[in-house]
Structure 1
Amino acid sequence: MPGFELFGESERAHVNDVLNTGIIMRYGFDGPRKGIWKSKELEAAISNKLGAQYTQVVSSGTAALVTALAAMGVGSGDEVIMPTFTFVASFEAVITVGAVPVLVDVDDTLTLDPAAVRAAITPKTKVIMPVHMCGSMSDMDALMQICKEHKLLLLEDACQSTGAKFKGKYLGTIGDAGTFSFDFVKTVTCGEGGAITTNSEEIWRKCDGFSDHGHDHLGVDRGADLHPFLGYNFRISELHAAVGLAQFNRLDEFLAIMKRNYDALKSALAEVPEISFRRIPDPSGDSHTHVSWFLPTREATANAVALLKAEGQIAGSIYWYDHNWHYIRNWAHLKTAASLNELHPDQKKAVIHHANKDFSASDAVIGRSVSTQISLLWSEEQAREKGEKMAQVIKKSLSGEVIKLKI
């Protein structure tokens, strides 16, 4: 899956462009940089490829989420509906801007269940934030209809699905804004980096300022910029942007390799009758970063995972139910609202309330789900062979050879 697997001459060439100028900051120093503006080039490449009018690159996917939420006017007292299955950055960003993450159940798409979203809407709801997990998409038709009915904003967290589409439109360009992560293990990597895409000039201008201490970037030079509002330092460096520019220009190459290997691995796993696969709202738009599969019960899934691990076939496969980065079951810090800087009592109370609700519907999905990452380094034959070896072990586990686990 990660672009770093194919890191090569193009990436080195773009980095050397920056090193040869000695200017690694994205703003200012116009003369010494000799026309080298990798951050601007990366923003243009993203907008041109994805069809977004505006792109702002920042220091991480988390920074992208915080910046987008702030630019969309989300703050104290607001509620943001998001899924129980995501990365911790999603709810961290909501809490950072003073709002409350309202977690709701996922369905067999491994993304927001539209019915659960409808049930969670209150007068305080301001944003619905689908998280396009593991390379695939949420049911955007249903979510856009809900936003339209209730006059809510739609912020797409596309950090795990760069290059995926829904009905011909790239994820991250469908809602009011979208966010991307380019960290080391994403499809496209900057090492550390992220981006916000939007078709709203107002949202983009606020993102542009907020991510650089509130500078409006309208002065003759950076020292002449005004400060219309408070912001933070979420700037990306030119070195990181240089890597990202080379990587993003290879996106179609990466997507093609992943699809080939995805198809080979999935066909091998499909030989196990008990395996079913994630429902994808638009299969043609999948970016194929993972094959996500289910077994009939949580016990069967846990036993299969244990045997895969025992026989050395677990590498690259994640059992999300036990994962403390991506599923609410193990987010103790969220459930207690543990923070180094004490939250406002009202926010803390609301965070704890929403994080400790009944998520048994999500448990029923995530407890049976495993996602196997697709490597860019595999040949088609290696992908098929991996799937066949996994299938053999899973069949063995289903036949009664189990490893006892506490589930």
Structure 2
Amino acid sequence: MVPPAAGADHDPAETVRADVSTGPPGRKEHRIRISEPLLGVEEETAVLAVLRSGRLTSGPRVEEFEQAFAAAHGFAHAVAVSSGTTALVTALRAHGIGPGDEVITTPLTFGATLNALLEVGAATRFADIDDDFLLDPAAVAAAITPRTRAIMPVHLYGLPADMPEITRLAERHGLTVIADAAQAHGALVAGQSVAAASTATFSMYGSKNITCGEGGVVTTPDARIADRLRLIRNHGMRNRYEHLMAGSNYRLTEMQAAIGSVQLGRLPEINRRRAAHAARLTTGLEGVPGLITPRQPADRLHVWHQYTVRLTDDARAGRDEVIEALDQAGVEARVFYPRLAFDHDCYRDHPRIARGDTPRAELISRQVLSLPVHPRLTDTDLDRVIDAVRRTLVSPGPEPHPKP
């Protein structure tokens, strides 16, 4: 049976190990999942400390987490919120983006990007992507209209978009940049943290490079925007019962913040492991006909939230066949994302969604396939992934793969 080819940002099953038969009778090997968080005793201890303190929300752990997150990403301000989606909504509201405004973004993204824009009342215009899966600055330039207020690049799969060019474009047209960095913890562009000169939003969902189950963070260099972010997440209050603006309850709990602080300490090692695993996969999959492996541009640091290949028309098997074959071998592969953001019944005729001309995104969405790259993989696991892909796509029969 082919696993559901859906965006798995909200699939609780993706972090569970199970045993499956993948070899001779009587032999069992664990199933290799697409995502498994790296958690340990430190996270357990941190949660217990919060429970024993009796203070479960809006306390010192949240403040500590925010300070640590800002420091780790080179930002002046970090504001913790309840999810990656509310991080997007809060950032848009803090910048005053709403009805009558238009935001340009990518169609190859999880639905949260589009949902956040619709929630604040903004219109969405989609621009095409480049072969790196990310917004093409030239396509963004062509999509700008007199109503455009902001550009929302998405740092997909852990690879940052071309922020220098997007920032220059935004400055020329007087536009705001809000980066969806949900999958890009620790990623760099030209040696700087993603969107260092703009507002950025991160997710702490269970499948991300670091997690606290659910949660999000908005980072910004602007103290005025940071103040608005804190007001919006807390019912518009700076002090209890002092409402300065209309707000919402987007607060992060003390337990989530305690887990997040421990995870931040693990981030360098997690990203190092992911990069090493990505390098091993790329070496092992070189030369497979019809398979394009991902690359890291020289000026950007990829943090490998997903290892995403492309299956072209020259491939020996189609995408569903590859997923089925890997499933039989005990390897989980997923499609992030099988449809473009606007290509769902609920969005197709929406009056605030302009599809635009996005032929590269349409092609690439039919080709992408993500393979396991998470930090809990062993060399043996990675060899199993490589062998399963090569057995499916290399003809005739299995072929020894090169060792890194």
TM-score, normalised with respect to structure 2: 0.84
Give aligned pairs, total: 365
Is the partner of 2:226 in helix, strand or coil? helix
Equivalent runs, 1:141-152 vs 2, <5 Å: 141-152=164-175
Find the aligned partners of 2:336 and 2:213 in 1 and give their Cα distance.
24
Quick check: 2:37–2:206 contact (8 Å CA) kept in 1? no
Is the partner of 1:382 in helix, strand or coil? helix
Is the partner of 2:109 in helix, strand or coil? coil
Equivalent AA in structure 2 for residue 188 of structure 1: I
Equivalent AA in structure 2 for residue 387 of structure 1: I
- Alignment partner, residue 182 of structure 1: 204
The structural deviation recorded for 1:333 is 1.5
The structural deviation recorded for 1:283 is 6.3
- Alpha carbons of structure 1 residues 89 and 301: separation in structure 2 relative to 1, 3 Å: farther
- Alignment partner, residue 290 of structure 2: 274
Does residue 388 (structure 1) correspond to residue 387 (structure 2)? The answer is yes
Choose from 159, 162, 175 the match for 1:139. 162
Quick check: 2:36–2:376 contact (8 Å CA) kept in 1? no
- Alpha carbons of structure 1 residues 271 and 114: separation in structure 2 relative to 1, 3 Å: same
Deviation string 1:255-281 (CA, Å, 9 cap, x unpaired) is 111112111112111131432233544
- Alpha carbons of structure 1 residues 102 and 304: separation in structure 2 relative to 1, 3 Å: closer
Choose from 178, 191, 194 the match for 1:168. 191
Does residue 335 (structure 1) correspond to residue 335 (structure 2)? The answer is no
- Alpha carbons of structure 1 residues 152 and 281: separation in structure 2 relative to 1, 3 Å: farther
Does residue 52 (structure 1) correspond to residue 54 (structure 2)? The answer is no
- Alignment partner, residue 96 of structure 1: 119
- Alpha carbons of structure 1 residues 106 and 21: separation in structure 2 relative to 1, 3 Å: same
Quick check: 2:317–2:392 contact (8 Å CA) kept in 1? no
The structural deviation recorded for 1:285 is 0.5
Choose from 135, 142, 150 the match for 1:127. 150
Choose from 215, 221, 244 the match for 1:199. 221
Deviation string 1:86-136 (CA, Å, 9 cap, x unpaired) is 111111111111111111211111111111101110011111000001111
Quick check: 1:303–1:397 contact (8 Å CA) kept in 2? no
Find the aligned partners of 2:213 and 2:270 in 1 and give their Cα distance.
17
The structural deviation recorded for 1:4 is 5.6
Instruction: Please state which structure has a larger fraction of its residues in helix.
Output: 1
Find the aligned partners of 1:135 and 1:71 in 2 and give their Cα distance.
25
- Alignment partner, residue 24 of structure 2: none
Q: Which is bigger in relative contact order (C-alpha 8 A, separation at least 6)? A: 2
Find the aligned partners of 2:310 and 2:396 in 1 and give their Cα distance.
14
Quick check: 2:277–2:373 contact (8 Å CA) kept in 1? yes
Find the aligned partners of 2:255 and 2:140 in 1 and give their Cα distance.
40
Quick check: 1:210–1:230 contact (8 Å CA) kept in 2? yes
Choose from 270, 275, 294 the match for 1:254. 270
Equivalent AA in structure 1 for residue 38 of structure 2: L
- Alpha carbons of structure 1 residues 198 and 302: separation in structure 2 relative to 1, 3 Å: farther
Find the aligned partners of 1:87 and 1:130 in 2 and give their Cα distance.
12
Is the partner of 1:249 in helix, strand or coil? helix
Is the partner of 1:147 in helix, strand or coil? helix
Quick check: 1:320–1:367 contact (8 Å CA) kept in 2? no
- Alignment partner, residue 118 of structure 1: 141
Is the partner of 1:317 in helix, strand or coil? coil
Choose from 41, 52, 57 the match for 1:20. 52
Find the aligned partners of 1:315 and 1:243 in 2 and give their Cα distance.
29
Quick check: 1:128–1:147 contact (8 Å CA) kept in 2? yes
Quick check: 2:235–2:249 contact (8 Å CA) kept in 1? yes
Choose from 315, 318, 321 the match for 1:303. 318
Deviation string 1:203-223 (CA, Å, 9 cap, x unpaired) is 100000001100124xxxx34
Give % identity: 30
Q: Where does structure 1 lack aligned partners over 5 or more consecutive residues?
A: 28-36, 338-348, 400-407
The root-mean-square deviation of aligned C-alpha atoms, in Å, is 2.4
Equivalent runs, 1:286-297 vs 2, <5 Å: 286-297=302-313
Deviation string 1:17-72 (CA, Å, 9 cap, x unpaired) is 11001210115xxxxxxxxx110110011011111000000000001000000001
The structural deviation recorded for 1:300 is 3.9
TM-score, normalised with respect to structure 1: 0.84
Equivalent AA in structure 2 for residue 328 of structure 1: A
Does residue 210 (structure 1) correspond to residue 226 (structure 2)? The answer is no
The structural deviation recorded for 1:199 is 0.4
- Alignment partner, residue 403 of structure 1: none
- Alpha carbons of structure 1 residues 115 and 314: separation in structure 2 relative to 1, 3 Å: farther
- Alignment partner, residue 234 of structure 1: 250
Find the aligned partners of 2:82 and 2:64 in 1 and give their Cα distance.
16
The structural deviation recorded for 1:314 is 7.9
